[in-house]
Structure formats: C-alpha cells, structure tokens
Chain A
Amino acid sequence: MDSAKKRRIIRLGIVVLAALMVEVISIVQYERVKEAMEEEMGVRARVVLGAMEADVGHMMELTEATMKENLWKLRQDLDHPDSSFIALRYLVDDNPHVVGGFLTFVPDYFPSKGRLFEPYAKKTDGTISLSQFAGSDHDYTENEFFRRAMETRQSFWSEPYIDAADSLETLITYATPILDGKGEIAAICGLDMDVSWLGDTLNARQPFPSSFGLLLTQEGRLVAGPPETLVSGADVEAALEIMRQGVAEADGKGMSIRSVQMVREPYWRVVQVYRTQDVFARIWKMRRQQVLLVLLGLAILAFIIERFIRSESKLRKASEEQARISGELAVAQRIQREMLPTAFPPFVYGSLEPVREVGGDLYDFFIRDGKLFFCIGDVAGKGVPSAMLMSVVHSLFRMVSRTEESPSKILSMLNGELCRGNDSNMFVTFFVGCLDLYSGELDYATAGHDKPFILADDVSMMPAKANLPLGVFPDTRFEEQHCTLSPGMLLLLYTDGLTESKNVQRKQFGRERVVEVLNAFVKSENPTPAALVSALSHAAHQFAGQEPQSDDLTLLVVQFAPGDVLRERITLVNEIGEVDRLNAFVKALFGKLHLEGKTASGLRLALEETVVNVVNYAYAPGERGDVTILADCDRKQLRFTVIDSGKPFDPTTVLEADTTLDARDRPIGGLGILLTRKLMDSISYTRRDGKNVLSLTKEL
C-alpha cells in the first residue's frame, strides 16, 4: 500500500473518530438534559398534584361542612315529611359543587308516605327541582351506601358512579345518617357532587401537549380524566394499567407517571402522566440537528484540511521538481561553458553571458595551419531549446571546419545539417571567418548575422553580405567575402544581446552607443581584444543599470597581430638534390629563430627525413611532383607542415621500427619515420583536397 493511500485512510479514520466522539458527547449531553427534565417534570407534577389534591380535598370539606351545618334543620323537620323538601333545597342551594341531594328515610318512617319515602332535590343550571324519587322501580334500601350508612352509622363518601339517568356526569355522594331524638337512624341524607369537571380542571393547563392528569380511587378506578378530544381512551387505559400495579411513580410503555394520594377520605390519587416520547422528542430532535451540524462542520473542515494538505504536497513536489531542474540546469550550464574556449592567445578574446542558466549564443575559434578559424552565432530564442541547438551547431562547426577552410562551404554544410529535420523551425544567425595569421588575409561569410565592426585608427562596419540564417532553406548560398587586415586591426563580433540590451526606460543600448565605446577604445593606450571585450561588457551593464539582462550577450574580438608569429614557406620538386635547398631554407629559418645545437639539428633531421620520404615515395617513379613546406612559429612552438599531392600516405600509422635488434637483423628502412617521431613532439596527418598534409610540431 502506498503511503499516500495510508495517509488518506488515517485522515478518514480521524474524521470518523471525531464524528463518533461528537455523537457520544451529544448522547451524554442528551441524557443529562433528560435527567434534568425528568426531575423538573417530577417537581412540576408534584406541584400540580399537590394543588389538585388540595382543591379536591377542599371541595369535599366544603360539602362535608354544608352537610354538618344543615344537619340540625334536617333533624328539626324529621316529623314533617314535606318540610324536609325545603331543608333539602337549602342544602343543595348552599353548595355550588352539589348537584343534588336526597333523604332516604328508613322504611315506614312516615306511614302516610308509604314504606319508602325519598325527597329529592336536583340542581339543573342553577334551578332546583324537587321530587319524591322512591318508587316500586327504585328501592333505595337495596343501595350499597344506604346499607353501609345504616350499618356503620357513620358519614362516608361513596365510590364514584355514573348516574344511570344522566350518564354524562360522574357523581360521588356524601352520605350521613340523620338521627332522631332517640338516637335512632331516621334517614340517610346524601349530597351528590359532580366530579366530571375535575377531569377538565386537571387537564386544563398541561405542561406538554400529550401529558394529562387523572383522578383515581384508592382501588384504581377512574374518577375523572382528560376529555376524549385531548387524549385517546387507549392512552388513559394504558396509564390505568400501570397504576393498577399499585405504584406511586412509574415509567413504562413510553409513559412517565407521577401521583399523589389524598391525605383524607376518600384517599383518591391524583395522577400526572407524561408521554416521554413527546417530552424528549424535541430534545432528541435538537440533539440530532446539533450532531448533524457538527458533522457537517467536520466534513467541511476535513475537506479544507484535505485540500490544504493536497495543495501543500503539490507545492512540495513542485519545489522538489524545481530543485531537480535547477540542479540539472547548473550541470548543463557548466557543460555549455566548457564547450567554449576558455584559454585565449593574446590576439583573440571572447565572452558569453547567458541571460538564463543556458543560452543559444556561441562563439568559437581555433588555429589550424597558421590560420585562425573563428565564428559567432545566435540561435533564435532563449533557454534550454536554444541551448540544445547551440550545442549541435557548435559540434557541427568543429567537425566541418576541421577539414574545410572556406567559410562559405562551412556555412553551407552547417546549413544542410540544420535544415534536415528542422520541424521546430529554429534558425541560427552565424558568422565564420578564417584569418591567415601571417598575411592578414581574411575570408569570411555571414548567415544573417550582424555585421562585425573593424577597428583600425577609426571604427567602421565590415562590408558583409547578410545572406539568410542557417536552418531556413537547405539551398541557401552563402557568399564568401575577402579582405586583408593590416597589423593591429581588431575585428569585433557580437550578438544582438549587446545592441539590444535595455535600461529601465526600455531604451536599447543601440549601435550608436557601441560605436561611441569603440571610438573611445581605439584612442586608448593598449587596445587588446581582452580590453575591448571588457570595455563593451562594462558599458552595456552600466547602461542597463538595475534592468535585468534580456538576452544572451556574446562578444568575440580578433586582432591581426603578425608580430607574434613567423611563417616561412618553400616548395620543392621531388628530387633528392632539393634537400640542399631544404637545408638552406631550414638554416635561414633557424637563424631568424636563433635556434642552434641539438634542437636545431633534431628539427632539421626530422624535416629532412619527412621530405625525403615524400620525394622518394609519394609520386610514382618518373612522375613530377612537388612538396610544400610551411614553417610556423609563435615563439612557443615551431610547426612544419609538409604538403604534397602524391598518393595518400599516413606515416603516423606506420609501425615503429624495432631499435633493439642485432645489426644483422636490423632492416635498412623505417629509420626516417622513427627519427621524426622521436624528434618531434607531435605528428598529425590529414588528407585534404587531394593532398597529404602532415604537421610536425615541437614545443620550444
């Protein structure tokens, strides 16, 4: 598994863990809130229940008081059956909770009234109607509370019941035995109270939409409850079911129940029922919303962090890449720098300042056969692409000019190579010159490059045909031109980085300023190539000031300084007698160079052996031919160049003669080449233009 994937899984894990923690915290919080709510609910229930219990108790006390207060009147009228109606009316009228009252006389108390006599007062909407209730269909002696009162001779509250005649009301009855003068029970007086309204009162102000209150008897029978419109019968039945188990407080079936029992008769129980689901549903919903919000926040946070990490790692990758590229560019820069000549003879100086690490400018020079080959070029564009082509151009120039002397031919060959497969349409401006270091003869050709300046006593532009740059058309002809330099003359080659270098005002250095610098330079005391390069570079940089360099800046200065070199030349025919002429030539040369002794005789011997070899073997027997000898000396090194038109022969490839053999075994031949090799520092051979060209050099 790669590390990026692992990291992603770890990040995901952290997010999931955070989400879980949020959920756990939220649940704990919820439980706390729930607990607090439950406690609060309990307190509230107890307050409600206490008030309710007090209300009910007070109402009952009132009824009992009413009964007591009117008892004397009932007793007084015990002898007058009809008066008892009036007493009863008072009784009923006196108490607003009382909806009816009755007197059930013991059987045959008033013989005139028959066996049973029951005066009855009923309050309907504040109006009291009186009637005699007992009859053949209503024998109150059969009634439970009549019998109980007769037996116990005590007052008591009846169980709640629904009056058969008027089923909408739940009634309770307070029964009291009425004693006559002899202490015998004469009648039972009952006051009916409607308790239906208790249910309404109990449920009038509930703290929650689904909570409700109940009033139960000691046995658990329902006295009063919420109206059907508020709470379904099933819910009430469920609460009753729980209460029947005889507990004061209970939780179950999604209900939380609190209850208080009356401290007086009839010891009813006031019950408060909460539907837990409804109470906590809101908190639960809030909790859920909270968790979702936090999770959403976490997700957004995770997304942001992920993005941040990603962009951060992208940045890191980019900077690593940057470091790698600049490392490679540094190497490329070194390679490119090392490609160009860095050691300069006094008569040549060059400099190249790339605007970036690598650039498309180049210059080069080398000396061959007493001639200085030099070039300057500018590949279109900047940076790596140009640098690559620059390397190609440089290598091509080196290869082509090793055997080719004509600048126009060199350009044609470079052009041919560069046009091949040049789909990127790159082109190169180029200038090639070939200066004879002894005569000042200069051959040159231009491929779209800026005309060089010639510095003598004054400054002038070199007359040069522009021609097309390299790499444009394969059949471009590059016209070759010729001029002769006078001793001391300087040739300035440059790329447009010089004339087009800009200052902060975006003004170009320009040709005029270059000419100004050159004019000042020709009047200076020591006008060397190195000094000119330094002066121009300095001027261009000073002009640009703070403005960064915008293009590669390349300068190459060549001076014709024949005082530093000596060149002699002689041409001989292929006859042994010519060796005398050769000796005379060599002696004159050595005289000029002040060479004598072993060095001189060694050099003479090497040259003689080489020339004799050519005279003897280069041409077919009887064939006339010649051999030309060039002697070049720059005070440090003497070079003989032996050129003939004979058959190709490379003496450097001949095996060395064995110098250890005995006299009898020593071959007669091979000594000449052996001596030449041993006497010179280096020998090199090329076949050029149908000629053998052998160079012999010796460091002096």
Chain B
Amino acid sequence: MMKTSIQEQDGKFAVTLSGELDTAAARETEQALQPLLDSEGKPVIIDCASLEYISSSGLRILLGILKHCKANGSGVVLKDVRDEIREVLNLTGFVSLFDFE
C-alpha cells in the first residue's frame, strides 16, 4: 500500500512517501500530491525513507512537481533515499535534476 502525506511549514511543503509507488498506485498518489501543483511553487522536501519502490509513473509524478517548482524559482529536495530508489534515479538521469539530503 502507498501512503502519502503533505505538511506545510516555514513556507515549504514537507512530503512523506511510504510504500511502493508502482503504476497501480500512481494515479492515487498523483491526486494526493495535487496541492503541491496548485500552490505558487513553494520549495518541496520529500522524505523517501519509507519509499520502497518506484516505477516510471512515480518518476513522472516527481518530474511534474519538479517542473512546477523550477518554473516558480524553487526546487525539490529528496531526503533519505534508499539504494533501490537511488539506483532507478541514477539509471534515468534524475539524480542530476533533484537535490538530495
């Protein structure tokens, strides 16, 4: 199961993704993260400590958020990324797009 939560503090969005972000879970997750796209582009910090799996549809969601933030002069930080996920980001070249903590 995929769990998503968003908190707004200090002018930033703090997002927590936990579970497996596969294609089946992508649509639901995308809807859950819609508020980020509706904002004026505040910086986003995504806690990936509990994210076990991500498919290309999940990456697409992350790319959408990143594009929205960049357009508004802010950015996206990925926090505590697991090796499995970092491997996928490496393979797709996403490593160079996001900031990591």
Q: Which residue numbers of A lie inside 8 Å of B, CB to CB?
A: 576-577, 579-580, 583, 597-598, 601-602, 604-605, 608-609, 612, 657-664, 666, 668, 671-672, 674-675, 678-679
Contact = CB atoms under 8 A, between A and B. Distances in A.
15 contacts: A579-B23, A597-B84, A598-B84, A605-B88, A612-B56, A612-B57, A657-B92, A660-B93, A663-B66, A664-B67, A671-B56, A671-B59, A672-B55, A672-B56, A679-B91
A587 B53 CA distance: 13
B87 A602 contact: yes
A interface, over-half SS: helix
Given A605-B55, A666-B97, A668-B60, A598 B87 contact: yes
A665 B20 CA distance: 27
Contact of B70 (A604, A664, A675, A678): A664
A671 B92 contact: yes
B78 interface: no
Contacts of A664: 67, 70-71
B48 interface: no
Contacts of B22: 579, 583, 608
B10 interface: no
Given A583-B22, A663-B70, A671-B92, 19 more contacts: A577-B24, A580-B24, A583-B24, A597-B84, A598-B84, A602-B87, A605-B53, A608-B23, A612-B56, A657-B92, A659-B92, A662-B97, A663-B97, A664-B70, A664-B71, A666-B63, A675-B56, A675-B88, A678-B91
B101 interface: no
Contacts, number: 70
A578 to B, nearest CB: 8
The 5 closest A-B pairs by CB, nearest first: A659-B93, A671-B56, A579-B24, A601-B84, A672-B56
A616 to B, nearest CB: 9
Contacts of B83: 598
A500 B20 CA distance: 66
Contacts of A580: 24
Contact of A675 (B23, B67, B91): B91
A672 B20 CA distance: 16
Contact of B55 (A577, A612, A661): A612
Contacts of B55: 605, 608-609, 612, 672
B71 to A, nearest CB: 8
Interface residues of B, number: 27
B61 to A, nearest CB: 10
Contacts of B84: 597-598, 601-602
Contacts of A678: 91
Nearest to B66: A663
Contacts of B52: 601
Interface in B34-70: 52-53, 55-57, 59-60, 63-64, 66-67, 70
Contacts of B67: 663-664
Contacts of A675: 56, 88, 91-92
B56 A609 contact: yes
A576 B84 CA distance: 23
A605 B23 CA distance: 10
Nearest to A583: B22
Interface centre among A605, A662, A663, A678 (most CB of B within 10 A): A663
Nearest to B27: A576
